Structure 1
Amino acid sequence: MSRVVLVNLASLPMPGNQPIFPIGLRCVQDALDRAGHVTRLVDFVESPASLDDLEWLDGRWDVIGFTIRNIDPIDITCNTHVDEYIAFADRVRTELDRRGLDPVLVGGGPGFSLFGSLLVDRLGLDVGVIGPGEQAILDVANDPLSFKGRGSTVQGRRHCGFLTDTLRHPSSLMAAYTNAHRAMIGVETRRKTCYQTCGYCPYAYIDGENAGDLKPMEILAEEIVGIHRQGFRRIFFTDGIFNSELRYAKEVVGLVRELALDGLSWSAYFTPKPFDDEFGEMLQGSGVEAVVVSPDSLDDRVMRNLGKSFDTRHVLRFLERSRKNDLPVRVNVVFGGPGETRESIRNSAEFINENLRDDELVMHVGYRVLPATALARDLGMTDDQLLYPAFYPFDFDVFNWVIQDLDSRFVTPQLMMNLMAGRAAARKMARVLSAPAVTPPTGTTFLALAGQGGGNGCDH
Structure 2
Amino acid sequence: MDELEALMVDYGPHDVFFVDSILNFPVGHVEALCEEILRRRLRLRWSCYATPVKLGREQASLMARAGCDGMELGSDAAEDGQLERLGKSFDAEVVRRANVHGLEAGLRVCHTVIFGGPGETEASVRATCQALRARRPTAVVAMAGVRLYPGTPLTRQLMAEGKIRSDEAGLLPTFYVEPEVRDFLPGYLQRQAREAGNWISAKTPREIFSTRRCIWTSRTPTT
TM-score by length of 1: 0.42
Cα–Cα, structure 1 residues 315 and 411, in superposed 2: closer, same or farther, change >3 Å? closer
Query: Aligned pair 1:298/2:78, yes or no?
Result: yes
2:154 aligned counterpart, secondary structure = helix
Match of 1:377 among 145, 150, 156: 156
User: Counterpart in 1 of 2:183?
Assistant: 396
Query: Aligned pair 1:278/2:58, yes or no?
Result: yes
Aligned residues: 212
Match of 1:421 among 207, 212, 217: 207
Deviations 1:329-358 (A, max 9, x none): 11111211111111011101110111124x
Tell me by how many angstroms 1:429 deviates. Answer: 4.9
The letter of the residue matching 1:364 is: M
User: Counterpart in 2 of 1:331?
Assistant: 111
Tell me by how many angstroms 1:407 deviates. Answer: 7.1
User: Counterpart in 2 of 1:102?
Assistant: none
2: CA distance, partners of 1:385 / 1:226? 41
User: Counterpart in 2 of 1:410?
Assistant: 197
User: Counterpart in 1 of 2:28?
Assistant: 247
Match of 1:236 among 17, 34, 38: 17
1:417 aligned counterpart, secondary structure = coil
Deviations 1:305-347 (A, max 9, x none): 1111111111111122122211111111121111111101110
2: CA distance, partners of 1:403 / 1:384? 28
What are the equivalent positions in structure 2 for 1:305-384 lying under 5 Å apart?
A: 305-357=85-137, 359-380=138-159, 381-382=165-166
2: CA distance, partners of 1:429 / 1:323? 35
2: CA distance, partners of 1:249 / 1:411? 27
Q: 1 or 2 for the larger relative contact order (CA 8 Å, sep ≥6)?
A: 2
1:243 aligned counterpart, secondary structure = coil
Q: Once the two structures are aligned, what percentage of the paired residues are identical?
A: 24
Tell me by how many angstroms 1:258 deviates. Answer: 2.6
Deviations 1:153-192 (A, max 9, x none): xxxxxxxxxxxxxxxxxxxxxxxxxxxxxxxxxxxxxxxx
Cα–Cα, structure 1 residues 333 and 224, in superposed 2: closer, same or farther, change >3 Å? same
The letter of the residue matching 1:265 is: R
Deviations 1:42-87 (A, max 9, x none): xxxxxxxxxxxxxxxxxxxxxxxxxxxxxxxxxxxxxxxxxxxxxx
Query: Aligned pair 1:289/2:69, yes or no?
Result: yes
Tell me by how many angstroms 1:405 deviates. Answer: 5.1
Tell me by how many angstroms 1:430 deviates. Answer: 6.0
CA RMSD of aligned residues (A): 2.6
What are the equivalent positions in structure 2 for 1:136-215 lying under 5 Å apart?
A: none
1:295 aligned counterpart, secondary structure = strand
The letter of the residue matching 1:409 is: A
User: Counterpart in 2 of 1:107?
Assistant: none
Tell me by how many angstroms 1:406 deviates. Answer: 6.0
2: CA distance, partners of 1:267 / 1:340? 31
Query: Residues 353 and 406 of structure 1 are in contact (CA less than 8 Å); yes or no, is this contact kept in structure 2?
Result: no
2: CA distance, partners of 1:281 / 1:300? 27
Query: Residues 71 and 109 of structure 2 are in contact (CA less than 8 Å); yes or no, is this contact kept in structure 1?
Result: yes
Query: Residues 242 and 270 of structure 1 are in contact (CA less than 8 Å); yes or no, is this contact kept in structure 2?
Result: yes
Tell me by how many angstroms 1:382 deviates. Answer: 2.8
1:269 aligned counterpart, secondary structure = strand
Kindly report structure 1 stretches of 4+ aligned residues shifted beyond 4 Å.
404-407, 428-431
2: CA distance, partners of 1:435 / 1:255? 57
Cα–Cα, structure 1 residues 236 and 372, in superposed 2: closer, same or farther, change >3 Å? farther
Larger Rg: 1
Tell me by how many angstroms 1:404 deviates. Answer: 4.6
The letter of the residue matching 1:422 is: I
User: Counterpart in 2 of 1:214?
Assistant: none
Tell me by how many angstroms 1:229 deviates. Answer: 1.5
Runs of 5+ unmatched residues, structure 2: 160-164
2: CA distance, partners of 1:378 / 1:230? 50
1:290 aligned counterpart, secondary structure = strand
The letter of the residue matching 2:172 is: Y
User: Counterpart in 1 of 2:219?
Assistant: 434
Runs of 5+ unmatched residues, structure 1: 1-220, 437-460
Tell me by how many angstroms 1:420 deviates. Answer: 4.2
TM-score by length of 2: 0.82
Query: Residues 371 and 383 of structure 1 are in contact (CA less than 8 Å); yes or no, is this contact kept in structure 2?
Result: no
The letter of the residue matching 1:307 is: G
2:147 aligned counterpart, secondary structure = coil
Query: Residues 241 and 271 of structure 1 are in contact (CA less than 8 Å); yes or no, is this contact kept in structure 2?
Result: yes
Query: Residues 375 and 392 of structure 1 are in contact (CA less than 8 Å); yes or no, is this contact kept in structure 2?
Result: no
Query: Residues 80 and 92 of structure 2 are in contact (CA less than 8 Å); yes or no, is this contact kept in structure 1?
Result: yes
